[in-house]
Structure 1
Amino acid sequence: MKAPFKKALLGLCFAFTFSALAQETNSSETKSITQNTIESNTHKILMAAVKATKMDDILDKSGPFTVFAPSDKAFEKFSSTKMEELINSKDKTELKSLLTYHIVAGNLSASKILRAMCKGNGKASFTTIQGKKLIAQMDGYDIVLTDHLGNTARITAADVNQKNGVIHEIDSVILPSQM
């Protein structure tokens, strides 16, 4: 990595770290991931999928977890028809695999993600509870996640803290397998 680029990345990492830390200390952590997702107006499809797979109890009482939460627009961009099929299917294996690919064990604030990217020369790898890796890297001022198929999702709202973890809203659905 060239020195000027490395210095710029390091500067961004420090700036985002302090910004993210400020956000972390100002948030309310009185409700669980499930409780806050139920109340969200932009995560209806995600909550329907969580309920269909019976993961709502886990996301309510266990943790901490980091959820990369696709918005309803992200699910519609992916395929509202496919999501409806998965939610209504008798076999929830594929839907559960999709959901667990959006969850990482532990509390990964934006600052922790950025610090890991700084240590990894611009990239960081995180293992989902589904067992596959997500790669995080910067694109301009955005943290972008890439799945193993090359699909990408930008974090559009970071550090929505919960009593049992953190939610980062993303603009696309990331995939554990070809769907």
Structure 2
Amino acid sequence: MKKLLLASVLALSGSAFAGGGSMMPASNTIAGIVANDPNFSTLLAAVQAAGLTDTLNGPGPFTVFAPTNAAFAKIPKADLDALLNDPEQLKAVLLYHVVSGKVTAAQVMNMSSATTVNGADVSVSTSGGKVMIDGATVTKANVMASNGVIHVIDTVLMP
């Protein structure tokens, strides 16, 4: 059912990566890395539904705290469906995962908070060698892109 929902979202939103004169993103941009990693298929659908593909394919630099499919699976289905069908709320949630500039893991570990592109702050903490962004754990850090860096997280951040 979830795959059907995602297919519907992709079909309804129109793929930003094909047709309509759009070009495939360079595989080394944040958008390209997300598009080419099957662990980010839900994030990709959300980015497309919110109209943020061009932004994450742009010059940046950006730091993206990228939730995996497993992170999205923690959201109750009805809530996720509602979010995916509300482009403005979806955009606000996704921009809560983005910080301006290229912030590496070493820099993140020295921060207590960061201001996201949506204007709200996320808390940053370390515990037992793990970095936490709000309630999410960074599971993979420093995935370098030509327009920034991705830090993979295990929970979707909610503003």
Q: TM-score range by the shorter chain?
A: 0.7 to 0.9
Establish whether residue 100 from structure 1 lines up as the match of residue 95 from structure 2.
Answer: yes
CA–CA distance in structure 2, aligned partners of residues 80 and 57 of structure 1: 27
Among 154, 160, 174, the residue aligned to 2:137: 154
Among 32, 39, 58, the residue aligned to 2:29: 32
Cross-structure match for 2:156: 173
CA–CA distance in structure 2, aligned partners of residues 163 and 81 of structure 1: 36
Establish whether residue 140 from structure 1 lines up as the match of residue 128 from structure 2.
Answer: yes
Letter in 2 for 1:95: L
Aligned residues: 134
Establish whether residue 126 from structure 1 lines up as the match of residue 114 from structure 2.
Answer: yes
Cross-structure match for 1:62: 59
| Higher RCO, 1 vs 2 (CA within 8 Å, ≥6 residues apart) | 1
Query: Rg larger in 1 or in 2?
Result: 1
CA contact (8 A) 1:155 1:170 kept: yes
CA–CA distance in structure 2, aligned partners of residues 109 and 44 of structure 1: 24
Q: How far is the alpha carbon of 1:30 from its aligned partner?
A: 6.5
| Alignment TM-score, normalising by the size of structure 2 | 0.80
CA–CA distance in structure 2, aligned partners of residues 70 and 30 of structure 1: 19
- The 4+ residue runs of structure 1 with deviation greater than 4 A are none
Cross-structure match for 1:47: 44
Q: Deviations over 1:49-97 (max 9, x none)?
A: 000111001100230000000110000012343223322x2x4111001
CA–CA distance in structure 2, aligned partners of residues 51 and 141 of structure 1: 34
| Alignment TM-score, normalising by the size of structure 1 | 0.71
Q: How far is the alpha carbon of 1:39 from its aligned partner?
A: 0.4
In structure 1, the gaps of 5 or more residues are 1-28, 118-123, 147-151
Cross-structure match for 1:15: none
In structure 2, the gaps of 5 or more residues are 1-25
Q: Deviations over 1:124-179 (max 9, x none)?
A: 11000000001111111100111xxxxx0000000000000000000111111xxx
Cross-structure match for 2:104: 109
Among 122, 131, 146, the residue aligned to 1:163: 146
Establish whether residue 78 from structure 1 lines up as the match of residue 75 from structure 2.
Answer: yes
The structure in which a higher percent of residues are helix is 1
